[in-house]
Every structure is written in structure tokens, then in C-alpha cells.
Structure 1
Amino acid sequence: MSLPLHLTIVMPVLNEAEGVVAALDRLQDIRALGHQIIVADGGSTDQTAALAEPLCDRLVKAPAGRASQMNAGASIAGGEVLLFLHADTRLPEAALEHLSRFVQSDSLWGRFDVRLSGQRPLFRVISWFMNRRSRLTGIATGDQAIFARRAAFHDAGGYAPVPLMEDVALSRQLLALSRPFCISDPVVTDSRRWEKHGPWRTIFLMWRLRWRYWRGDDPHSLARAYYPDAYPKDRG
């Protein structure tokens, strides 16, 4: 007997007033089918929360940080499948069809392939390597819209309370339960950070941070390197 899809999408936001309405507008067709949209706000100081509230089923406040925000959203989720979607990432049109196939599978979690939004050919190459690496290692990034059965997410302990690499840490925990269900129809994530800092510089930074993480470096020191403006040099 086929199992129905009961989905909750959790979107962490922080000062996303400029784009949160467009991000949530794209999810209204999914919401109209009875699936749940939860926005987890990390203490925005702009109009993000006010703009988001009419376009979601629940708005939850949590300490800033994607891990704590997504855990807060998951804690009140009603769906049997949780999907964690960044505000700058767009699901493919057939997302529900793919997730319905996931529900019928034996997998406990999964992720989408990803495509960067920029038009430069280099972004296609970067996307290919990101997806290939993920298939080989079973490790997913937040930009790939990680999803999991609610019970598996809780069995894995949810997102670790770290300021960076929370997606990698969750993937490792979920890998102990099953291999990921990989959806090749990609989500599209905004390439603005890659364009702002330069694609090659961003590639080298991410690989260096990932290597340091696997070496056991403190995620807080990695976050200082990734978010230098948020971590002043005199901050401990």
C-alpha cells in the first residue's frame, strides 16, 4: 500500500525582508495541498517576521543560528517528512513527486542535487562537483535541501548546536541510519555569495573549512573564518 506524503518545510531566516516574500510565495502551491510551512526566525531586526507570518503556517522565534532555528521549527512540525529549505534556495516544480517516491523507499533521509543560479559556466562545474562529491560520500549540504523522516531526524539527534557545518554533522548522524535518497532534479540556490567573494576564493575557503572540520577543529573557529563580519577579531 502506498504511503501518503505529509510534508513540513522548515525555513530558517534572519533579516531576509528583501527576499522572504518571494521565497514563501514559491511555496504557496505546496501549502495549498495541505503541507505545512514553518518559518524559524533568528531574531530579525527588519520586517522579515511580519512579512513571513501571513505566508506560513507557523512562525517560531529561536536564537540566531541555522541549527537552533531549524531544530526549533522541527520541534513543532506536524509532517512525517521534514525538509529544511534555505530562503535563497528554490525547489524544483516536481519536488512533491520526488518526495512521494522517497516516502515509498526504504531510505530514511535524502537531499536534492543543487544548481547555482549564476550564469557563468564555472558555476555549472562547481555544481557538478558538489553533487558528485555528495553522492560519493553521502554527505549533504544545507543548499541541497536536506529532508528526513521525522522519526529519523529525532533519532539522529537533530542539528548539532554549532554555528557552521551543522549540515555535515547531521548527514554523518543520518548516514548511520541509512544512505541518502538522492534526487537529481536540482534545487536552485542563489550564487550571490560566490559572486560577491569570487568563485575560486569561495571554493578554496569551503574546502579549507571542510578539511579543518574533518580534522576536528572547533566549529566556532570555522564560523569566524566563514562569517568574518559577524565575528570581530577581538571576540573570543
Structure 2
Amino acid sequence: MRAPISVVIPTLNAEQDLPGCLSALIEGLEAGLIRELIVTDGGSGDATLAIAAAAGARVVTGPAGVGGQLRRGVAVAEGDWLFMLLPECWLGAGWTVHAEAALATPAAYWSSIGVRGGGLVPRMVAQWVNMRSRISARPSARQGLLLPYPLYETVGGYADQPRVEDTQLLQRLRGHMRPLGAELTVTPEALRARG
């Protein structure tokens, strides 16, 4: 049986964060969960593309904009499941146990977030994001999104637009959202940059 998950990562000058994100995915390769890695780049001028190529990723390029980048990445995906991750979001150890359990129950799954380093304020923001996600089933893009490809198609996928493309998709997924149980970590800077 072929591995089920296509990991799709939108990048733009992500050379600082991408190696950590990719390292966390090794667990999924070893568990036989990851079929392919797709890096969809929006015009990086740093070493992002070289890092992606060295990791064996399929690289897709086009104009910058997370919605369009994710849409292009998903368009070439061959897996039965999609896992959208931002490069600054690193999966924690043991994430594959939760992913394997999720594959048995098709739905859209999000992860809680933690903060790598930083002080009290970033940790409080992460706790607020996690609480909001649990109460309202409204996760953010930085929490990752694991879902079966047919569900992605059913709700219309990502719009190719410059803003709130992830919010629109997540709204269309209401009623299908569940917590994954795994944790992603971000830096305080990434937490601030994403609002």
C-alpha cells in the first residue's frame, strides 16, 4: 500500500525555518505515512529552493500568495490525504501516532500550537489560539491542516487570492473539523508575523 499523505508547504524566503519543518517530517517517512513532499514557492531569493531540492521535495513555483501557492501545490498532489503546513510550524515528536489514528476517520484535523522559546506573552497567545480552536473549531493556518483529498475538493479548496484564503477554506470545513492531538511549535517571531 502506498503512503497516503501529500505534505504541501508554501514558502517564500523560508531558509531559516524550512530545515526544522522538514526534519520533523522524517518521523512520517519512517512510519510510511508520507507519500510525497511538495514545496510550493512564491519567488524565494534565498536558499529555500536548494533546501527543498536537497530534501527530495517536488518544487512548484508561481506568484506569491499563500492561497495560490497552496492551490498549486495541491493540484500536483498524488496522496489520498493532504497535510498543509507552514514552514515555521514544526511538528512535535509522536505526531505520527495521532495522524495514523486520524486516517481511520476522515475529517479535517488541526494541531495545537506551542512556542519555541520566547517569554510569557507568546505562550499566552498560543494558549489563546488553542482555546479558541477547541471552543469554536476555528483553527488558524499556523495550526496545520490534515484532511482527505475528496473533502478538500468537496468544499472547493483554497481560493487563489491574496488574503484570508485559509480562513475561507476553514469556514467551509466547519462541521468537519477535529483536533489532531499533535502539537506544532512556532517561534515568537512567527506568531507575531502571522498576527
The two structures have a TM-score, normalised by structure 2, of 0.88
CA contact (8 A) 1:5 1:99 kept: no
More RCO (CA 8 Å, sep 6+): 2
CA distance in 2, matches of 1:13, 1:43: 8
3-state SS, counterpart of residue 139 of structure 1: coil
- The answer to whether the Cα contact below 8 Å between 1:24 and 1:56 also exists between their aligned partners in 2 is no
Corresponding residue of 1:87 = 87
Inter-partner Cα distance in structure 2 for 1:117 and 1:44:
24
Instruction: Specify the structure having the higher radius of gyration (Cα).
Output: 1
Aligned residues between the structures: 193
Aligned counterpart, 2:112: 113
Cα root mean square deviation, aligned: 2.3
Partner of 2:132: 133
* Aligned with 1:189 (options 158, 164, 186): 186
Indicate the SS of the match to 2:166. helix
Q: Is the Cα–Cα contact under 8 Å of residues 25 and 55 in structure 1 kept in the other structure?
A: no
Identity value in percent: 23
Contact 1:14 1:42 in 2 (8 A): yes
Provide the TM-score with structure 1 as the length reference.
Answer: 0.74
Partner of 2:61: 61
110 and 51 in structure 1: CA distance in 2 versus 1, 3 angstrom threshold = same
How far does the alpha carbon of each residue in 1:186-215 deviate from its partner, in whole angstroms, 9 at most, with x for none? 2101211456x8xxxx8xxx4xxxxxxxxx
Residue of 3, 9, 25 corresponding to 1:27: 25
Contact map agreement 2:95 2:183 (CA 8 A) in 1: no
2:53 counterpart letter in structure 1: E
How far 1:183 moved relative to its partner? 2.4
Match of 1:18 in 2: 16
- Residue 4 of structure 1 deviates from its aligned partner by 8.5
Letter in 2 for 1:133: R
Higher-strand-fraction structure: 2
Change over 3 Å in CA distance of 1:22–1:118 after alignment to 2: closer
Structure 1 moving runs of 4+ over 4 Å = none
Q: Distance in 2 between matches of 1:185 and 1:24?
A: 16
Which residues of 2 match residues 127-166 of structure 1 at below 5 A? 127-166=126-165
Amino acid at match of 1:20: L
- One-letter code of the match for 1:55? A
Residue 129 of structure 2 aligns to a residue whose secondary structure is helix
Shift of 1:22: 3.5
How far the C-alpha of 1:180 sits from its partner, in A, is 1.1
Partner SS state of residue 99, structure 2: helix
